[in-house]
């Protein structure tokens, strides 16, 4: 696609007290500018992913605000909201803006500051990614929605709670290796199974946490990228599809149609097959979501995602490394930041700079960012 990642930055994820979204965003941008050895004046436009600072911070008009505090005052700055896929929506449109010929270099950032509200208010805020008329207003918030998806997957394929738990265990292990991750501790299957239930069959450790964080990417047109880095990471596919927001309107609950369509498009665009992907950062907002993601992306056949996770095939040294960063589950899930953070992780991995969590010999990586229960799916593929 003639666009490359030339700089990346990500803040620590977690409950970051006394920091506002603008401070987190500026910190991530600062890291990315340093990484690319660039000055703010090199940036031509700013793309911001954020789900709902409207509800989390009573703040909208986010793009010029973030740009200003990051030292990028005055630049064309736009905010993207695609629920939990807001970060990838910003990334996708940063890429398209370069492809349009309008810009050579753009900054893409994602940010969410979630922990200032009590948990029940956060769940309520997140529920606006569901259909307020037919889902949220009658109590169907996301833990319940993904619980229904998990139950359907269990009924159809015999997926077990132990298989779900193995996703959480792996991602906590990977997060333990990632200094920026929200959680820095290992857990075992027993701990997951014995944790308080949130919405059966999902327990506390099947759910991603409420996190604060920001991430930034600097994108450049291929022909200028080498001015800034010896290791440009080439973006070879960007695809997006959507589906009904309401679960009840779907034909199936055991896969996400939008993700399957976006995956097919992305593989065609990149000219690669699912077998060629070395690592993927996928949208594991709940453990079941990672299992379904690995099926929707063609890494495993439908119903084989659970056994594959349990057998360790998705570990960093497995057949395909899934969420080496720790994923949403352990790295954390500052919602509108996640899609950008996924791309940061894949870029770091493809550069070979991921330290203890490095996927050996990684050449091709993929990001899979989902909004809500699958009404938005955005996929990017990157090559070293």
Quote the CA–CA distance of 199 and 218 in Å, as a whole number: 39
Tokens coding 355 = 């330290």
Residue pair 87/337 in contact (Cβ under 8 Å)? The answer is yes
Q: Which is nearer to a copy of itself, 178 or 238 (CB)?
A: 238
Q: Does 62 bind a copy of itself (CB under 8 A)?
A: yes
Residues in CB range of 118: below 8 A, 6 or more apart: none
Kindly state the helix (H) or strand (E) to which residue 383 belongs, with its residue range.
strand 376-383
Quote the CA–CA distance of 153 and 289 in Å, as a whole number: 10
Q: What angle do CA 361, 363, 369 make, to 5 degrees?
A: 120
Q: Among residues 5, 29, 65, 366, which is the contact residue for a copy of itself, using CB under 8 A?
A: 65
Where does this chain touch a copy of itself (CB under 8 A) — which range of 88-96, 111-119, 228-236, 315-323?
A: 88-96
- Which of 93, 172, 182, 333 is catalytic? The answer is 333
| Upper half-sphere CA count for residue 224 (Cβ side, 13 Å) | 15
Quote the CA–CA distance of 344 and 341 in Å, as a whole number: 5
**In the bound complex, what is the minimum distance in angstroms from residue 209's beta carbon to a copy of itself?**
20
Tokens coding 379 = 């996929």
Q: Which is nearer to a copy of itself, 75 or 359 (CB)?
A: 75
Quote the CA–CA distance of 54 and 125 in Å, as a whole number: 9
Q: Is 337 a catalytic residue?
A: no
Where does this chain touch a copy of itself (CB under 8 A) — which range of 10-18, 75-83, 163-171, 186-194?
A: 75-83
**In the bound complex, what is the minimum distance in angstroms from residue 266's beta carbon to a copy of itself?**
12
Task: Name residue, tokens 């993929």.
Answer: 366
Q: Does 150 bind a copy of itself (CB under 8 A)?
A: no
Q: Does 131 bind a copy of itself (CB under 8 A)?
A: yes
Q: Is 84 a catalytic residue?
A: yes
Q: Which is nearer to a copy of itself, 266 or 297 (CB)?
A: 266
Q: Does 224 bind a copy of itself (CB under 8 A)?
A: no
Quote the CA–CA distance of 77 and 100 in Å, as a whole number: 16
Residue pair 339/369 in contact (Cβ under 8 Å)? The answer is yes
Q: Which is nearer to a copy of itself, 122 or 204 (CB)?
A: 122
Where does this chain touch a copy of itself (CB under 8 A) — which range of 45-53, 183-191, 211-219, 320-328?
A: 45-53
Catalytic machinery residues: 84, 333
Residue ranges in contact with a copy of itself by CB under 8 A:
20, 45, 51-52, 54-55, 57-65, 67-68, 73-83, 89, 92-93, 95-97, 99-102, 128-133, 136, 239-245, 257-258, 261, 371-372, 375-376
């Amino acid at each position: 696609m003639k666009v490359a990642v030339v700089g990346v930055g990500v803040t620590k994820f977690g409950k970051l007290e006394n920091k506002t979204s603008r401070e987190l965003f500026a910190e991530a941008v600062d890291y990315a500018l340093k990484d690319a050895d660039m000055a703010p004046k090199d940036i031509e436009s700013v793309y911001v992913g954020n789900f709902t600072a409207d509800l989390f911070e009573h703040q909208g008009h986010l793009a010029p605000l973030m740009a200003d505090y990051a030292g990028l005052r005055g630049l064309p700055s736009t905010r993207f909201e695609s629920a939990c896929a807001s970060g990838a929506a910003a990334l996708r449109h940063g890429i398209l803006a370069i492809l349009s010929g309008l810009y050579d270099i753009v900054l893409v950032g994602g940010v969410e500051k979630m922990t200032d509200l009590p948990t029940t208010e956060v769940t309520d805020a997140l529920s606006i990614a569901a259909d307020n008329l037919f889902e949220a207003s009658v109590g169907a918030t996301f833990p319940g929605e993904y619980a229904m998806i998990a139950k359907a997957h269990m009924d159809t394929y015999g997926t077990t709670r132990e298989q779900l738990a193995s996703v959480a265990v792996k991602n906590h292990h990977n997060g333990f290796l990632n200094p920026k991750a929200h959680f820095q501790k290992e857990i075992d299957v027993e701990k997951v199974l014995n944790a308080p239930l949130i919405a059966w069959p999902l327990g506390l450790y099947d759910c991603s946490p409420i996190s604060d964080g920001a991430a930034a990417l600097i994108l450049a047109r291929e022909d200028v990228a080498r001015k800034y880095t010896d290791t440009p990471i080439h973006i070879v596919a960007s695809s997006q599809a959507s589906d009904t927001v309401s679960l009840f309107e779907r034909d199936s609950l055991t896969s996400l149609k939008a993700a399957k369509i976006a995956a097919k498009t992305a593989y065609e665009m990149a000219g690669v097959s699912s077998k060629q992907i070395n690592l993927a950062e996928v949208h594991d907002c709940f453990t079941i979501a990672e299992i379904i993601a690995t099926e929707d992306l063609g890494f495993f056949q439908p119903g084989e995602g659970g056994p594959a996770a349990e057998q360790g095939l998705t570990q960093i040294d497995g057949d395909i490394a899934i969420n080496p960063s720790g994923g949403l589950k352990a790295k954390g899930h500052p919602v509108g930041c996640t899609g950008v953070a996924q791309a940061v992780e894949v870029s770091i991995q493809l550069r070979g700079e991921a330290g203890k969590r490095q996927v050996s010999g990684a050449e091709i990586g993929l990001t899979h960012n989902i909004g809500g229960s699958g009404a938005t799916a955005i996929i990017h593929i990157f090559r070293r």
